[in-house]
Chain A
Amino acid sequence: MSTTLTIPKLEMSMSEGTLAEWKVEDGATVNEGDVIYVLETDKTARDIEAPASGKLIQKAAAGELYDVGTEIGEIV
């Protein structure tokens, strides 16, 4: 079962966020709880952990601003 990664709504007021940096390379194996990317909002930068274990497939470039809900990757 794969897990889709989308830009999460971290706070009530959040509508978009910047995928500042992927912390894990495309195609690498991650364990649930590993930090996989850094998400920047207007308030803060936050480490986002893997919600599942598996192979990370990146689908969005770092350094870009995305709307909440945009698919940015997958863990398969």
Chain B
Amino acid sequence: MAQANLGIEPEILKAIYGQMARIRAVDKAVQAGLSAGKFAFSYWPMAGQECIPATIAQLTSQADYMVTTYRGIHDQVAKGVDLEGLFAEMLGREGGLNKGKGGSPHISDPASGSMLTTAIVGAGAPIANGLAFAAQMRGEDRVTIVNFGDGATSIGAVHEAMNMAGAWKLPVIFLCQNNLVGEYTWIPDYTASENFAARADALGFRGVVLDGNDPVAFYNGMKDVVESVRAGNGPVFVEARTFRMGPHAGVGDSNFHSKEQVADMKERWTVPVTRALLLSTGISTEEELAALEAAAQAEVEAALAKAAESPVTPASETTVDVFADNDAIPRRGYAPVREAEVVPTGETKKMMMFEAIADATRIRMEKDENVWVLGEDVGDPPGGVFGTSRGLQTTYGKRVRPTPIAETAIIGAALGSALVGMRPVAEIMFADFMGVCLDQIANHVAKQRYMSGSATHAPLTIRMMVGSGLGGLGAQHSQSLEAWLLHTPGLKVCMPSNAIDAKGLLASCILDEDPCVHLESMSLIRGVRDEVPLEDYRIPLGVAKVKREGSDISLITYGWQVRECLAAAEELAKEGISAEVIDLRSLVPLDYHRVLDSVKKTRRALVVHAAVEFGGFGGEICSTINEELFSTLKGPAIRLGADYAPIAYSSAIEKSQMPSTQSIVARVRDAIKTYN
């Protein structure tokens, strides 16, 4: 074949092969080590798919962002991830890119632009949107490429992400490496789609099908795609057709494909085919290619040998990288003293809680252009269904983004933008909708700092409303789900009981270096009006507040149940029982110092929350009080939460199933009678 007819610059084809050789050397070294039993870890082979990243590497730089999956070692290598750090990470070593805490399925390497790797199929796509959004807002010409397999096209996260990217014209490429099989299930068995690229058309943007095994065709197709996305013409979905020669996980040839299929794939395998092309066109000589392959092998061997010298990440690292601030981590027997807020003395204005929330957001947006707001209906009008972002879009324009009704896309976009230093405030409206996006919150937002060994972190805020108490909203708009969040290490959680605290706590959330969830009680958001200071102030996370002093029992609570407990204390006072009311304000970090101090004095404790009592936060707090103050207590610390039932539509049931002034009073009376 004459070079003139090749359709690609010879140097580029050579460079593509150079990357293929590096990927090949890494795969061989890993497979050899696993086969020989030299090391043991989970490995998802990608042999057969080398052409895709090897080619993309010629069209992108380290300034471009990449998100990929566990089957993405080829993507990492071609992106320019440091090989020694990559191997050390696979081996779980201190010297790993992510301190051995993430492993190969969770590589984050901002230096090369490999921003996040997920082991949850399809979950990278919403996050890629956030990276692309940051680039778009900052006027940068970076392109974000999110890699996933064909199997991921079945999952909702990819659909949600594609829809949002189309609506926002984000500079993102959805790169579907279609290897024809989702784990062990073939395409006609899991989808009736003829091709995946057509799904982009349905969502209003361009989709293309490219031969992902042919470097010349793929290069030319991708060149056009990358240039278009870089120029701001919106997203493109690329279906890169390829095949996977190995099993879903493990080493060796696929034990799932037929012998004929394996033989056919080996015949058409891009690595030897590209090599043969370089030779037949006279671009390279056998000696040149042999030297190039030897260099790749030497690079890999040296990196692997150095990685193996790095010590195994020790157990002493367990709680490091959960938060930037180690003090926030709940630990048994740990009750640090945190300074209370400086009480603002300036001018105040009567505000409802929703106005205080909008005010806190406005101040942060004014002071930092990285702060942005997203969520369903957050634009003007209506400025949030409860008015919590009223007026913000009018002032800040594109920094306030009403989103599709797609919670996974919302949290993913927030996370992606936070990875590169933006400070999103994402509204999920009702906490009940958290179920839709729990993967993004629990598997990605909460764990990103840890899994990346603090190579990245996620300074984002999620706002959601909890626990009706209003009646008539039913089982899917009334839940108090804080326990879901508290049980996920990596999230800070707070829940104000009044408008003043809401403004100060939300400010702390937005300024925090780690993900915070601001839970807003539905019955307070338009149910309280307080004299809210106009100035910019913060209420530190992890500082509880004594709302009423007392000497006979401590009522420990948060959110709208503070109001119920204060009313109960008033009732109890009439009977000569002096109840102290502690408003926790923040649940993680938790102020055990002030809680224990109060109970030391009153020698009795009742924890009250609107959430279901069984398996709830009350059990955790009571257990700590009982353990720490056993010999001081007059009786065991006890709890009062909602009955074990979904929240009913009937307001008579709802009223009775959650704690109320009456039921709190009754529980206190009973406790004092029993343990006198």
- Interface of A with B (CB < 8 Å)? 3-12, 14, 32, 43-44, 46-49, 51-52, 68-69, 71
- Nearest CB of chain A from residue B409's CB, rounded to whole Å: 30
Contact residues in A for B252 (Cβ distance below 8 Å):
10, 46-49
Known: A4-B38, A8-B40, A51-B36. 11 other contacts (CB 8 A): A4-B37, A8-B34, A8-B37, A10-B34, A11-B250, A12-B42, A43-B255, A44-B255, A46-B253, A46-B255, A49-B35
Checking B36, B40, B247 against A5 with a beta-carbon cut-off of 8 angstroms, the contacting residue is B36
Q: What is the bound-complex CA distance between A32 and B42, given in angstroms?
A: 23
Answer whether residue B32 sits at the interface, using C-beta atoms and an 8 A cutoff.
yes
- Nearest CB of chain A from residue B41's CB, rounded to whole Å: 8
* Interface size band for B: 10 to 19
Contact residues in B for A4 (Cβ distance below 8 Å):
36-38
- Nearest CB of chain B from residue A68's CB, rounded to whole Å: 7
Contact residues in A for B32 (Cβ distance below 8 Å):
32, 51-52
Answer whether residue B33 sits at the interface, using C-beta atoms and an 8 A cutoff.
yes
Contact residues in A for B251 (Cβ distance below 8 Å):
8, 10
Contact residues in A for B405 (Cβ distance below 8 Å):
none
Q: What is the bound-complex CA distance between A52 and B36, given in angstroms?
A: 9
B249→A9 contact, CB < 8 A: no
A8→B35 contact, CB < 8 A: yes
- Nearest CB of chain A from residue B555's CB, rounded to whole Å: 49
Q: What is the bound-complex CA distance between A12 and B183, given in angstroms?
A: 13
- Nearest CB of chain B from residue A73's CB, rounded to whole Å: 10
Contact residues in A for B38 (Cβ distance below 8 Å):
3-4, 6, 51
Contact residues in A for B247 (Cβ distance below 8 Å):
10-11
Q: What is the bound-complex CA distance between A44 and B37, given in angstroms?
A: 18
Q: What is the bound-complex CA distance between A23 and B34, given in angstroms?
A: 19
Q: What is the bound-complex CA distance between A4 and B40, given in angstroms?
A: 14
A51→B249 contact, CB < 8 A: no
Residue among B34, B35, B253, B255 facing the most chain A CB atoms (10 A cut-off): B35
Contact residues in B for A8 (Cβ distance below 8 Å):
34-37, 40, 251
Q: What is the bound-complex CA distance between A68 and B34, given in angstroms?
A: 11
B34→A9 contact, CB < 8 A: yes
Contact residues in A for B37 (Cβ distance below 8 Å):
4-9, 68-69, 71
Report B15-44 CB contacts with A as 1/0, cut-off 8 Å: 000000000000000001111111010100
A9→B255 contact, CB < 8 A: no
B36→A3 contact, CB < 8 A: yes
- Nearest CB of chain B from residue A67's CB, rounded to whole Å: 11
Contact residues in A for B36 (Cβ distance below 8 Å):
3-6, 8, 51-52
- Nearest CB of chain A from residue B636's CB, rounded to whole Å: 44
Which B residues between 426 and 473 are near A, CB-CB below 8 angstroms? none
- Nearest CB of chain A from residue B566's CB, rounded to whole Å: 54
Q: What is the bound-complex CA distance between A12 and B250, given in angstroms?
A: 7
**Knowing A12-B249, A46-B252 touch, does A68 contact B35 (C-beta < 8 A)?**
no
Question: Can you show 19 pairs from A to B with CB atoms below 8 A apart?
Answer: A4-B37, A6-B36, A6-B37, A7-B37, A8-B37, A8-B251, A9-B34, A9-B37, A9-B250, A10-B34, A11-B250, A12-B42, A43-B255, A47-B253, A48-B252, A51-B33, A51-B35, A51-B38, A68-B40
Q: What is the bound-complex CA distance between A68 and B672, given in angstroms?
A: 61
Contact residues in A for B34 (Cβ distance below 8 Å):
8-10
Contact residues in B for A44 (Cβ distance below 8 Å):
255
